Amino acid sequence: MTLPTATGCEPNTVSRGRVRLSERRKTLNRLLRSRTLMIGLFITLALVVLSVGAPLFTHVDPTDMNMSMIMKPPSAQHPFGTDAFGRDLFSWVLYGGRISLLVGLSVAAVTTITGVVLGSLAGYYPRLDSVIMRAMDVLMAFPEILLALGIVAILGPRISNIIIALLITYTPRPARVLRGAFLSLKCEQFVDAARSVGVRDVRIILRHLLPNCVAPLLVQQTYILAIAILAEAGLSFLGVGVPPSFPSLGGALADARAQIRYAPWMSLYPGLYISLLVLGVNLLGDGLRDVLDPRMKV
C-alpha cells in the first residue's frame, strides 16, 4: 500500500523500507531453518555457558593442588579425573575454556577492525592497494603457526601477547576478503551514483560499501575464531602460550603428554572440549556461509 505525499518520494522510501525489511526477514528465516547453523550455535552456546558460568557448575578452584589426589581417574567427585598435581580436571577444562574463548573472540574482533581498515583502504584507493597488499603478502609468506611462534618468542608468553601475535598472523585473511569485495562493489552503479552527487569517500565506504560486505566478512571471522582457538591451544601446548599458572587447555594437553601411559583421561577431556568448541564454531561458519554467501558453498 502506498501513501500519497507531497514530494512523491516517500512512498518509494516506504516500499524500499518494506522490501529491505522483508529481505531481512527472509534471511533470518533461512538462518533459522539452517540445520548446520543451529547445531553449531547449540554446541558453541552450550560450551560458552559451561565456561562463562563455570562457578555455577563447579566449586573447585582449578589451580588448587591436592597431593593426595594425584592422577585419579574420573569419579563422582572429579568427573574428568585429576592431573599430575592433583588438580580437578573438570574445573580446569571449564576455566581453560574461558581463556580459549577470550583469545579466540579477541583475535576475531580485533582482526575484524584491522582487516576492515586495511581491506577497505586497499580496495577503495588503488594507490594504497599495492602497498597494503604487498605487506599482507609478506605476512602470508610465513607458515602461520611459525609466525605466531616467532612473535610470541619476542613478546614473551602472556595472554595479551598471544592475542597480538595471532592478530598479526591472521589480519591478512579478512583484509583480502574485504579488498576483494570492495574491488567488485566499487564498480557498481550505486557507488557511481553516490559519488556523482558529491558523497564523500569516507561516507561511501562506511554507508554504501561496508554494509554490503558484512556477509563474507562474518563468515571469514567465524573461521578465524575457530583457527585462533586451535592456535592458542597449540602455542600453550608448546609452552610458549598461556603461562602455566593459568588454566589453559593446551597446557593441560602438554601435561597429559608426559602421563599418557598412566593417565589417558588427562588428555581426553581437554582435547574433547577444544574439538567440540572448534566443531561448533566451524558448523556455525558453514551455516552462515551457506545462507549468506552461497557462492562460497563447499
Partner 1 sequence: MTTYIARRLLVFIPTLLVVAVLVFLMISLVPGDPVMEMLGMDAPPDAVAAKRIELGLDKPVWMRLGWWFGRALRGDLGRSYFLGEPVIQAVAERFPVTLSLSLFALLISMGLGVTAGIIASVKHGSAVDWGVMIVALLALSVPGFWLALNLIFLFAVHWRWFPIGGYVSLVQDPLQFVRHLTLPALSLGLVHAGVTARMTRSCMLEVLGSDYVRTARAKGLPEKVVIIRHALKSALIPIVTVIGISAGVLLGGSVIIETVYNLPGAGRLVVEGVQRRDYPVVQGGILFITCIYLGINLLVDILYAWLDPRIRYN
What residues make contact with partner 1 under the rule CB under 8 A? 137-138, 141-147, 149-154, 156, 226, 230, 233-234, 237-240, 253, 256-257, 260-261, 264, 267, 270-271, 274-276, 278-279, 282-283, 286, 297-298
Closest CB 81 distance from partner 1, rounded Å? 14
Closest to partner 1 by CB, 109 vs 279, is 279
Closest to partner 1 by CB, 60 vs 274, is 274
Distance CA 191, CA 204 (A): 7
Closest CB 240 distance from partner 1, rounded Å? 5
Report helix angle 89-124 to 214-237, nearest 10.
140
Closest CB 123 distance from partner 1, rounded Å? 19
Closest CB 32 distance from partner 1, rounded Å? 21
Closest to partner 1 by CB, 40 vs 120, is 40
DSSP H helical segments within the chain, as ranges? 10-33, 35-52, 54-57, 89-124, 126-140, 144-155, 159-170, 172-185, 189-196, 201-203, 214-237, 249-258, 265-292
Closest to partner 1 by CB, 10 vs 144, is 144
**Nearest 5°: CA angle at 157, between 151 and 160?**
80
Closest CB 244 distance from partner 1, rounded Å? 13
Closest CB 298 distance from partner 1, rounded Å? 5
Residue 82 DSSP label = B
Residue 18 CB neighbour total at 10 angstroms: 11
Closest to partner 1 by CB, 106 vs 282, is 282
CB-based contact 106:159 (threshold 8 Å)? no
Closest to partner 1 by CB, 133 vs 191, is 133
CA atoms within 13 A on the CB side of 272: 11
CB-based contact 51:97 (threshold 8 Å)? yes
Region of residue 81 (left: phi > 0; alpha: psi -120 to 50; beta: else): left
Closest to partner 1 by CB, 224 vs 283, is 283
Closest to partner 1 by CB, 88 vs 232, is 232
**Residue 174 is placed in which grid cell?**
579478512
Closest CB 43 distance from partner 1, rounded Å? 10
Distance CA 259, CA 253 (A): 10
Closest CB 185 distance from partner 1, rounded Å? 21
- Residue 108 three-state SS: helix
